[in-house]
Amino acid sequence: MRSVPLSAKIGVREKRTGIYPYYAGYSAEFARWAIDKLGGKQDQSLLDPWNGTGTSTLEAAKKGLRATGIDLNPVLSFVAKAGTADSEDRQLVLEWIADFASDTNDDDTDVFLRMYKAATTSSAFVAGSPSEALLLTGMFPAARYLRKSAKTRNPSWYSRKGLGLLSDTGPSLQSLTAEYVRKAVKRQSEYTKVSRGLITIINSDFRLVTLPPSSYDLVLSSPPYLTRLDYVQATLPEIQMLNLLGISTPIGYLRNRMTGTPLTSSLDLSDVAHMPSGVLRLLKTVYDHQSKASKSYYFRFFAKYFIEMQVGIRQIAEALRIDGKLCIVTQPSYYKEVFVDLPSLLTEQFYDAGMVLDESYSFDSTHSIVSLNSRANENARRPPKETAVFYRKVK
């Protein structure tokens, strides 16, 4: 058995050497440890309903498990699929980049459009393939480069400044984008080879995906925390690029469907009455709080989060076999001075869905966005611990 990792979060070095620096991802070391703790072995099946950039699905496949990763964000789903690319995919991408560099036709003036056209006009191009995903993943840093003036101190937010049409025709961006793609290809080539047939990546809202009942042995995932971070907005430059290429979903839809979204307009409060007692107490505390917008906004935000999590947890319970195991990574937070013990609150929801707690581990959080907010409550600015909670389905 592997020793307990010091942190669940992806480290600085792993972010710098990976194909995409996803802020909210957890490390490959943690995923391997968690899969071992779950008893994962060859020929079992693993589900990650909030798959992000695919760390858990990739590490599961390395152990011979069949892995399904689902994520609403198309950017993260492309990165996850890029991780499954093989040597033929990498060679294709390099050929597309060579064709792009040698193309003197200026019918399409935008760099991203011309680069993508060099791929789509190739006889070997297949939409939705790992090769397409690897090309796009390599282009993403160039989109972020164009929007660097709109970046804020919050890693999950871009200001409106400079966020017009994502378009550029300059030769410097052309060479920069090509170099980014080559770098992604090189870094992906250093990944451990896995059987592509073991990994299925689905870009969708997990709650809308129909999964065969009792079809998974294990679940490993980390849902959005109860912190109002906008994980869709965090990838705004990449989504703009995908929209420019005609292969993405409108950002308004993504933000409204995201679990933990700060948007609360589409909310049916009728399901609140069916929440566990701990969740109801928290909602009452928030509603009764004397601070501004507690009743008008924050109560609705908290209620929507737990309503959406309840739907997702029931979906997980239905997909998991009896005696199946799951590991969920979450993090406590504060509302003003009120401590929000999210791991315990979600444990109540998992219990209602037929799952019991086996054990849990806490990890020091090496970095936290809330510490950047000078107006946050003093307690809230302390680095919160992340918790990996292990459950077992009993009914």
List the chain residues with pLDDT less than 50: 107-108, 163-165, 372
Which residues, at least 6 apart from 105, have a Cβ–Cβ distance to it below 8 Å?
none
d(CA 28, CA 58): 9
The two tokens of residue 186 are: 């090189």
Query: Could you give the 3-state DSSP secondary structure of residue 153?
Result: coil
Give the pairing type, strands 333-335 and 338-340: antiparallel
Structure confidence by residue, pLDDT tens digits, 331-352 = 999 999 999 999 999 999 999 9
Angle (nearest 5°) at CA 386 between 383 and 389: 160
Look at residue 165 in the predicted model and tell me its pLDDT.
46
Closest CA to 255 of 54, 72, 23: 72
Q: Quick one: DSSP state of residue 378?
A: T
The 3-state DSSP class for residue 341 equals coil
Q: Which residues pair with 356 in a beta bridge?
A: 392
Output the CA angle 371-79-77, nearest 5 degrees.
90
Amino acid at 215: S
Characterize 351-377 residue by residue with b for buried, 16 or more Cβ atoms within 10 angstroms of its Cβ, and e for exposed: ebbbbeeeebbebebeebbbeeeeeee
The pairing of beta strand 320-330 with beta strand 386-393 = antiparallel
Q: Give the C-alpha separation, 201 to 57, whole Å.
A: 9
Report d(CA 201, CA 342) in Å as an integer: 28
Phi, psi torsion values for 158, nearest 5 degrees:
-115, 135
For residue 305, give the nearest of 249, 352, 263 by alpha carbon.
263
Six-digit token string for 235: 């990838």
Parallel, antiparallel or unpaired: strands 66-71 and 199-203: parallel
Residue pair 310/269 in contact by the 8 Å Cβ criterion:
no
| Angstrom distance (rounded) from CA 166 to CA 374 | 32
Task: Report d(CA 241, CA 306) in Å as an integer.
Answer: 32
CB–CB of 192/265 below 8 Å? no
Asked if 259 and 50 touch (Cβ cutoff 8 Å), the reply is yes
CB 225 within 8 A of CB 55: no
For 324, counting Cβ atoms within 10 Å of its Cβ (0-12 exposed, 13-18 middle, 19+ buried), the class is buried
Q: What share of the chain is helix, strand, coil (3-state, %, to 5)?
A: 45, 15, 40
